[in-house]
Structure 1
Amino acid sequence: MEIMRLKPSFARKLNQDGFTPIHLAMQNGETRVVLRLLDVDNDLVRIQGREGITPLHFAAQRGDLDLLVAFLRVCPDSIEDVTVQRETVLHIALTNGNFDAFQLLLGWLRRAWFKDAFSLGRKLLNWQDEEGNTVLHIAISRDQSQIVGWLTKFPLDINIENRSGFTAFEILENEANLVNEAPMRRMLCCARARRPWGLRRPLADYLRSPVGIDERVYVYFIRQRSRITTEMRAALLVVVVLLITISFQTVLKPPAGILLDNTATSNRTAPTNVKRQPQYLTTTLFMLENSLKLLMFFTAAFFFAAISAILYLLPFGHFVLAGPICRNTCQGFCSKIGAT
């Protein structure tokens, strides 16, 4: 340790086998020496040895929970390091069957509160190794239903494909003799995993295939939408909002001539010296009810068409904000129609 203090660069030297002093200390089970080395330099956790293995990777490979906690405490950024096979510490823990270490790492990601912690967790869980496999692919291929249940609770891309073009669900379909196939299938279905429907057509065959009517309509509307300028979009949105306002006003206060003042018909025997309530000119109660229903029908159709126009005119990426607003507006509109 005195040599490390006098010459810290010695701690980063690799021997002929591709290991640093901290790697050798971990191989020999010298936990105290490992912690003393971290006191000299915390970044030793990220130093890569043979095949790009860092001390954090080595701890996950051996399932040493205490060292995992110590490494993550002194150097949280070390969880981003990958090996030459593009394996993260999550891949290594899962591949070596150290499920306690894997659960510890998931718990650390879930509880991390530093800046960009959410994006880091999503990045690591969707990270693909050299063969394109994520930790979800590996968990399914190893028949680990409990880990699949843990992973489906995280914001990961459950339909990501590996280098062979298989999603997690397709690996589940192709693997034979899986004991936990049924529970894993339910978990993937609840997480909205894409179901395999036969062999997938290559992109070249898809582009050579005839274009259907539904696809033509979709492409036409997307092209027309992309041609709308910003100024035109703003003007059209103002007009559509005004039309929605008119629809709401029609529901709140229908035009005169279709409402019936019930007091006028129920008070026919009222004294003549009492001032009667004004009543609208109507024909019959039957015609009044039909006229009101017809008005509400066309107003509702007009309103929902205007809402659809807003969603069509909004630029891509604004649906997250516009969706709840349009939903609440539609709920208020429907409640007013029901009250009318």
Structure 2
Amino acid sequence: MQKMEMLFQMAQRGDVEELNQLLIKYPLILHQIPLISIHNPLHIASALGHLDFAKKLLELKPEFARQLDAEGYSPMHLACANGHVEIVREFIKVDPHICRLEGREGKTPLHVAVLGGRVVELREMLTNCEGCIEDVTVQKENCFHLAVKNFQCISFQVLLDWAREMRRDEVLNRKDEHGNTILHLAVWKKQRQVLEMLLTNSSSNLEVNAINNSRLTALDLLLIFPSEAGDREIQDILQGAGALKSQDLALNNTTSLSLTRDSPVTNSNSLIEYFRFHDGRDSPSDVRTTLLVIAVLVVTATYQVGISPPGDVWQDDDQVHLAGTSILGTHNLVSYILLVSFNSIGFNVSLYMIGTLTRKFPLQTELQICLFALYVTFNVAVTATSPKSARLFTTVFTSALPTAVPVACGLLQRYGVMGRFRRLFRICRRTS
């Protein structure tokens, strides 16, 4: 194990002479590395730019070039990420197709160079391995998609110039897993510079009216998601290149969009599908944040109803009622009980959601104290405003809910009851 540590330390220093001496003493050391470590000295030398050390390792053990480290990257990925073009050239000499080696999330060294704006490395790989332009990530994003999504305009310009010089314009129309072309992404990211590169003196092969999986063209995206600056110029660029809305293409009358710049979208199943949650597209962090916002809004609304019931409260005592009790509860007990029951359910379920979504957060004890204090004040307020005839029910019902809610939610999920409710709701909505 000590000799392995010495080898990796030599790689950090890039000392070829020490490496030669170590190999004389331990001639099989390079062959033993795969048995001990998931990464090899070539990863270190490539990341740090030690050219001579990397060349020596490639000469002795060329298969090191295809080994992925614990993060899912090969030595060439690391050389591209850090801009060590001479080392990249050495890898290409060993095997030009190593440019297409898939690493983490399907990214190749070419993808890494694009993301880092390493244009010299880009040109080297495109010159020596033309096929690498076809490679896509696990999200089916090619190098053009990655350049646009990550605002790498220089990388995009190099790629675009190469594609047009080599007459490979068809790669500009490739779609990711959501059916988006680079034109969709450029509009979504409001990248006017990219749009001008694409649409100024563009080839006739560029599909300016490609439709994504949500039945939207690039122009549709611009009109649906307007911003304050630059939209008019982008719209002029798109329409100057012949861009249309999906409804104007008349490809499918039953799913076409009714879009204008100054009016809302109506009767659009496509738009509803676009905003609907998609597993794999929407990150768990975004979903949790959205659910927390919704839960807090429901807590706020139901808490307000609890402390200030509809119809207000009596201001004085009487033979029939007491000051501070609900007027609605006195005149219509059934309606009041329904109001309190469902309002309390909404309040407690929202508290349960907040507690579940913030589990293992920092200051967990303090947060639980806050939720408990909120629960107590809500119950006290609801009980205090209840008329005498409903006070016992209100006290028992609101006290039992904290225990009943987690159990009920678990049972509903287990037996798929909520799915049946949703289907029933959709049927009722269609027939109404």
User: Displacement, 1:178?
Assistant: 4.7
Q: What is the alpha-carbon distance in structure 2 between the residues aligned to residue 201 and residue 100 of structure 1? A: 36
Matches within 5 A, 1:1-340: 1-112=55-166, 117=167, 120-122=168-170, 124-152=171-199, 153-154=202-203, 155-195=205-245
User: Displacement, 1:8?
Assistant: 2.4
Q: What is the alpha-carbon distance in structure 1 between the residues aligned to residue 121 and residue 228 of structure 2? A: 33
Give the RMSD, CA atoms, in angstroms. 2.4
* CA displacement, residues 106-147 of structure 1 (integer Å, 9 cap, x when unaligned): 1111111xxxx3xx322x111111121111011111112232
User: Displacement, 1:168?
Assistant: 0.7
User: Displacement, 1:64?
Assistant: 0.9
Q: What is the alpha-carbon distance in structure 2 between the residues aligned to residue 143 and residue 205 of structure 1? A: 26
Q: What is the alpha-carbon distance in structure 2 between the residues aligned to residue 29 and residue 109 of structure 1? A: 22
User: Displacement, 1:190?
Assistant: 2.1
Q: What is the alpha-carbon distance in structure 2 between the residues aligned to residue 205 and residue 175 of structure 1? A: 19
Change (3 A) 1:144 1:7: same
Note if contact 2:81-2:113 (Cα within 8 Å) is conserved in structure 1: no
Q: What is the alpha-carbon distance in structure 1 between the residues aligned to residue 134 and residue 80 of structure 2? A: 20
What stretches of structure 1 of length at least 5 have no aligned partner? Answer: 207-340
User: Displacement, 1:21?
Assistant: 1.3
Q: Kindly name which structure, 1 or 2, has the bigger radius of gyration based on alpha carbons.
A: 1
Change (3 A) 1:29 1:186: closer
Note if contact 1:143-1:179 (Cα within 8 Å) is conserved in structure 2: no
* CA displacement, residues 3-41 of structure 1 (integer Å, 9 cap, x when unaligned): 322332221111222111111223444333222222221
Q: What is the alpha-carbon distance in structure 2 between the residues aligned to residue 205 and residue 6 of structure 1? A: 61
Change (3 A) 1:201 1:82: closer
Q: What is the alpha-carbon distance in structure 2 between the residues aligned to residue 31 and residue 108 of structure 1? A: 19
Q: What is the alpha-carbon distance in structure 2 between the residues aligned to residue 71 and residue 25 of structure 1? A: 13
Q: What is the alpha-carbon distance in structure 2 between the residues aligned to residue 22 and residue 172 of structure 1? A: 38
Equivalent AA in structure 1 for residue 180 of structure 2: N
For 2:417, the equivalent position in structure 1 comes to none
Change (3 A) 1:21 1:201: closer
User: Displacement, 1:205?
Assistant: 7.5
Equivalent AA in structure 2 for residue 106 of structure 1: L
Q: What is the alpha-carbon distance in structure 2 between the residues aligned to residue 180 and residue 205 of structure 1? A: 29
What stretches of structure 2 of length at least 5 have no aligned partner? Answer: 1-54, 257-432
Equivalent AA in structure 2 for residue 89 of structure 1: C
Change (3 A) 1:183 1:39: same
Aligned residues with identical type, % of pairs = 36
Which structure's relative contact order is higher, taking Cα pairs within 8 Å and 6+ residues apart? 1
Change (3 A) 1:182 1:66: same
User: Displacement, 1:101?
Assistant: 1.0
Note if contact 2:247-2:253 (Cα within 8 Å) is conserved in structure 1: no
Q: What is the alpha-carbon distance in structure 1 between the residues aligned to residue 213 and residue 60 of structure 2? A: 48
Q: What is the alpha-carbon distance in structure 2 between the residues aligned to residue 45 and residue 36 of structure 1? A: 12
User: Displacement, 1:52?
Assistant: 0.8
Q: What is the alpha-carbon distance in structure 1 between the residues aligned to residue 156 and residue 252 of structure 2? A: 36
Change (3 A) 1:157 1:84: same
Note if contact 2:115-2:150 (Cα within 8 Å) is conserved in structure 1: yes
Note if contact 1:144-1:180 (Cα within 8 Å) is conserved in structure 2: no
Change (3 A) 1:171 1:7: same
- Name the SS of the counterpart of 2:162 in structure 1: helix
Equivalent AA in structure 2 for residue 173 of structure 1: L
Q: What is the alpha-carbon distance in structure 1 between the residues aligned to residue 251 and residue 147 of structure 2? A: 35
Equivalent AA in structure 1 for residue 181 of structure 2: T
User: Under a length normalisation based on structure 1, what TM-score does the superposition of the two structures give?
Assistant: 0.54
Equivalent AA in structure 1 for residue 236 of structure 2: R
- Name the SS of the counterpart of 1:18 in structure 2: coil
Note if contact 2:148-2:194 (Cα within 8 Å) is conserved in structure 1: no
Q: What is the alpha-carbon distance in structure 1 between the residues aligned to residue 251 and residue 210 of structure 2? A: 17
